[in-house]
Amino acid sequence: MLNGTRSLTVLLGLSIVFSSLVAAPALADEPEPVAEPSRVELVLDVSGSMRAADIGGRSRISVAQQAFNEVVDALPDETHLGIRVLGATYQGKDKAVACRDTQQLVPVGPVDRAAAKDAIATLRPTGHTPIGLALREAAGDLGTEGGNRRIVLITDGEDTCAPPDPCDVARELAAQGTKLVVDTLGLAPDEKVRRQLLCIAGATGGTYTAAQTPEQLTKRIRQLVRRAEDTNTPAPAPVAGARECAGAPLLGPGVYADREKPAEHRWYRVPVADGQELRVSVSVAPDRPVHRDYGVLLRATAADGRELVRGTDAGSGRTDVLSAGLRWSAGEPEPSAGDPESSQEGAEGEGAQPTEVCLVISNSFAPVDRQDGQPGLPFELVVDVVSASDTPDAPGLGRGWMLLLVLGAAGLLTGVLAGWLTRWWIATWRTN
């Protein structure tokens, strides 16, 4: 049995050796890009309804103040935080004045914890609820440069000052392409409030949460601030597609943001040289109610209109994001004039490949409200151009024959050695 164990050990060693012959070399570690500081603004409703004492016997404003203090204490030093309030100062009866009542208490930047908590402690529920205006001002506080931004809105009621309507403002902010996300936290179990906060969050890709206890509110605010750190990536470049390929914007590799009205077509152009492969994906996120059964179509065409390849995706009312992608490789160089067969093939449009590919994005969305077509549905377009991947020529094995040869030789040698070792082990065992 000792000899059998040795034989098994030898075979295992040989397997490891041959496996290492075909193992891919490890890639060198690439340096990680330096992320920009997170930029978050907390927007707190301080309107008169925040006096209600229905959260564990405490007033809504006191619960919010406690949550703010705990979040500020736990903030990482690298986080840039701002605080804005609405309905906090005007006590008069002039609604026009009350609906302009929003102020930034703490500018967006490294947090002075003591100053931030002092500012929050002095708040007393006062006026109206100009949510739309406060969101617009908060977006201005965060600016437009750099990576992602996050607004966290804490309120117990719906906007009482529209216009501007908060949902329209959220769509307006999303349409600016500044990668701004608005998360909403509701402090009152009211269906109208819930619908409005869902609309605001959905328009920007944010989330809605109902907070019924102080612990829920504190925990959720912390999660959202942390999420801003985790998703602090460069914003997609804004681009405006054309109605036809001719004159469409010329795109290179990158991530782009655009908007498209229901049933609209948006065109772009991408240069692709021989020996390169075009890779494109598009993701559409409906930011308003739409009818069931919808889809998105991504096509690549030649300059003369010939379709090269397409990708599609469809939903039935339960899909948050639709994504479609495609890959297309440029052909071999155009045939020379001295090759009659190739010249004939080129004349038929089979051999020549365009150096400029037209991309068109189409959709079959239909909003529930027919007037709700502006400012168009948001989508992100990812474009990449890489060296064309080698593909085998059917029905043969293509360029994988070298790997097959190495594997065959390794298998043959392993089999021969295994047979020899087995015969030697049997002979030794019979002798003993």
Q: What is the pLDDT of residues 339-364, one digit of tens each?
A: 444 434 443 444 444 478 999 999 88
pLDDT number for residue 125: 92
pTM, full prediction: 0.57
The three-state DSSP-derived secondary structure of 237-267 is EECCCECCCCCCCECCCEEEEEEECCCCEEE
Domain range for residue 367?
238-334+342-387
Question: What average pLDDT does range 175-190 have in this prediction?
Answer: 82
For the sheet containing 377-387, what is the strand order? Answer: 237-238, 254-260, 377-387, 276-284, 322-329
Q: Is 284 helix (H, G, I), strand (E, B) or coil?
A: strand
In a domain, 415, yes or no: no
* pLDDT of residue 401 exceeding 80: no
Q: Residue holding tokens 């009659």?
A: 340
Q: What's the domain count of the chain?
A: 2
In a domain, 405, yes or no: no
* CATH number of 263's domain: 2.60.120.380
Positive or negative: CA dihedral 107, 108, 112, 113: positive
User: Taking the C-alpha atoms of 81, 85, 89 and 95 in order, what is their torsion angle to the nearest 10 degrees?
Assistant: 150
Co-location of 206 and 60 in the same domain: yes
Co-location of 74 and 217 in the same domain: yes
Share of the chain above pLDDT 90, in %: 31
In a domain, 206, yes or no: yes
Co-location of 201 and 250 in the same domain: no
In a domain, 11, yes or no: no
In a domain, 294, yes or no: yes
Question: What average pLDDT does range 282-304 have in this prediction?
Answer: 84
* CATH number of 161's domain: 3.40.50.410
Co-location of 255 and 373 in the same domain: yes
Co-location of 58 and 202 in the same domain: yes
Report residue 111's pLDDT band, with 50, 70 and 90 as the boundaries.
confident
Phi/psi at 312 (5° precision)? -135, 160
Rounded to whole angstroms, how far apart are CA atoms 403 and 336?
Answer: 34
CB neighbours (10 Å) of residue 123? 19
Co-location of 245 and 382 in the same domain: yes
Co-location of 201 and 271 in the same domain: no
